[in-house]
Amino acid sequence: MSGSIVNAGPRTAVSNPPVQDMPSYFGEQDLVRRSATPDLPPPARQLTPVAKLIDVSKCIGCKACQSACVEWNDTTPAIGENVGVYTNPHDLTENMFTLMRFTEWVNPDTDNLEWLIRKDGCMHCADPGCLKACPAPGAIVQYTNGIVDFIHENCIGCGYCVKGCPFNIPRISKADHRSYKCTLCSDRVAVGQGPACAKACPTQAIVFGTKEDMKRHAAGRIEDLKSRGFAHAGLYDPPGVGGTHVMYVLHHADKPHIYADLPDDPRISPIVQTWKGLTKYVGLAAMGFMAVGSVIHGVFARPNRVSSEDEENAEKLVGTVAPQPPSQPEERG
């Protein structure tokens, strides 16, 4: 590379990073969505969408991606306990943003045991349920290149993102009560590098680049898998969430659920949609109606006052009963 470096975003995770200082190629001006911010100004430019492609058929389960993730993000997952499975730790945590999930699956067509290994983590949905559910302005953002990122200083730790996510990804830290997940290494991508996991993957089962390139690369892989007898090989880029910026090549793309419960047709739960949509508008209208109705009634209906007649009637009623000792009860009225 000669002359000044133009940082237009990374094309791949494989090449070595430039050694010169580099300005970040995207930032706050490139937000397409910002949680709890309905009046976000539209971004002036559209960045080239990026994507990470995980080819499940090439994964050897070495967990280099997990190590690289821990290393880059400087997290310290607790030392685990072996319960007889390779999946370690047993679930995503606030210190483990990506996790190899191992599944032993017997293929009913061939009666072969297949060892399915899926690298779980944030899918960077085009329509992110976490962002939709988040009540804190700016705690979750989405850039025009497709990266969905958590801005921890704005996070209030409510856990709404956990309920909004169709993939069960975000985790709330018990230490600082903020939500954590894979950032797609937004800090690396911003300076022209690919995600740490992709960089570390020894078989290039994880690759990174523009979404276009990744789809093209996936098409070649799928063709290859089909020629090897995986008739249902395909790309996992689920349309229910508008597509994702982390995609899988699956050898059994007709049944994603066999890969450690990868959702077949993920979408933001209709319950979450109703909560964040209809309930909010109808609810605010109902409360407003009650408040305004009260004010109108208060202005137009005369106050309901006790008259002096009422007081006299009460005095008469009490007076008909003998003053002090309750010795001579009288009929009322």
Partner 1 sequence: MVERIQPGDAVHPGHPVTVNRYGPTTRANHWVTAVSLILLAISGLALFTPSLYFLTTLFGGGQSTRILHPWFGVVLFISFFVLFAQLWRANLPARVDIVYLSRIKDVLAGHEENLPELGKYNAGQKGVFWGMAFLILVLIVSGVVIWDQYFGEATAIPTKRVALLVHSIAAVLIICVFILHVYAAIWTRGTLRAMTRGTVTGGWAWRHHRKWLRDLVGQRKIGPAE
Residues that bind partner 1 (CB under 8 A): 36-38, 135-137, 154-160, 162-163, 168, 172, 177, 269, 271-272, 274-275, 279-280, 282-284, 286-287, 290-291, 294, 297-298, 301-315, 317-321, 323-324, 326, 329, 332-333
Cβ neighbours of 95 (radius 10 Å): 18
The answer to whether residues 188 and 42 touch, using CB atoms and an 8 Å cutoff, is no
Residue placing its CB nearer to partner 1 in the complex, 44 or 83: 83
Alpha-carbon Rg for the chain in angstroms: 30
Residue placing its CB nearer to partner 1 in the complex, 11 or 163: 163
Q: CA–CA distance from 333 to each of 113, 309, 317, 321, 330 (Å)? A: 91, 15, 6, 10, 9
The answer to whether residues 119 and 86 touch, using CB atoms and an 8 Å cutoff, is no
The answer to whether residues 245 and 123 touch, using CB atoms and an 8 Å cutoff, is yes
CB of 212 to partner 1, least distance (A): 33
Sign of the CA dihedral running 215, 217, 221, 227: positive
Sign of the CA dihedral running 22, 28, 30, 32: positive
CB of 56 to partner 1, least distance (A): 24
CB of 60 to partner 1, least distance (A): 31
Residue placing its CB nearer to partner 1 in the complex, 162 or 191: 162
CB of 330 to partner 1, least distance (A): 9
Residue placing its CB nearer to partner 1 in the complex, 5 or 158: 158
Residue placing its CB nearer to partner 1 in the complex, 17 or 159: 159
Residue placing its CB nearer to partner 1 in the complex, 88 or 273: 273
How far is Cα 160 from Cα 42, in angstroms, rounded to an integer? 25
Residue placing its CB nearer to partner 1 in the complex, 20 or 328: 328
The answer to whether residues 248 and 54 touch, using CB atoms and an 8 Å cutoff, is yes
The DSSP string of 197-237 is HHHH-TT--EEEEEHHHHHHHHHHHHHHHHHTT-TT-EEE-
CB of 197 to partner 1, least distance (A): 25
CB of 228 to partner 1, least distance (A): 37
Q: What contacts 74, CB < 8 A, 6 or more positions away?
A: none
CB of 268 to partner 1, least distance (A): 10
